[in-house]
Amino acid sequence: MIEKAKSRRGFLTMGFGAAATLVLTTPVEAAVRRLPERSLHLYNTHTGESLKSVYWAEGRYQAKTIAQISRFLRDHRNGAVHSIDPRLLDLISTVQRKVGAKGAIHIISGYRSPASNAILASYSDGVATHSLHTEGRAVDIRLPGHSVRHVGRAAKMLKGGGVGVYPDSDFVHIDTGRIRAW
């Protein structure tokens, strides 16, 4: 009888653990978990630079590649570099796959130094004074051949963070902050 109770308790514990894992896994995590490699092809609209890289392989993020991507996503106004949140890379990659976009993801804005962000915020109400761009947790993108509304819808469905759709400026803001949309 004791063995049977232990067995049932173990089964229930395992079941609750599995259920908790399913609940705590975001759609982005579920989408990238199955991939043997994660890669990005980026094009910076301000510098004209392109970068193709595998940033996750052999079961882990590739530190050297993350550093290259962080440099690529630097503040184009002053050259300041900040480490980029690897979850942001997963989010960018998943959005691209979700809409079926091929080719380079156009980067409008990656990291912004606090000084650059302050200048932009003084010109526009659309720039947050405490932007996640200043933490390496936000990017503004365009996927050529796909409307910003379509890209924004796909990003919102992933529930990976904040999503802002800017049709007049032709870009979508995505970040790894709390889930919200504008």
pLDDT tens digits, residue range 78-132?
999 999 999 999 999 999 999 999 999 999 999 999 999 999 999 888 788 889 9
Per residue in 120-155, pLDDT (tens digit) is 999 888 788 889 999 999 999 999 999 999 999 999
Rounded to two decimals, the pTM is: 0.82
* Mean pLDDT within 22-32: 72
Query: How many C-alpha atoms does 102 have within 13 Å on its Cβ side?
Result: 0
Architecture of domain 26-181: 2-Layer Sandwich (3.30)
Structure tokens at 53: 């890289």
Cβ atoms 175, 138 nearer than 8 A: yes
Per residue in 53-74, pLDDT (tens digit) is 999 999 999 999 999 999 999 9
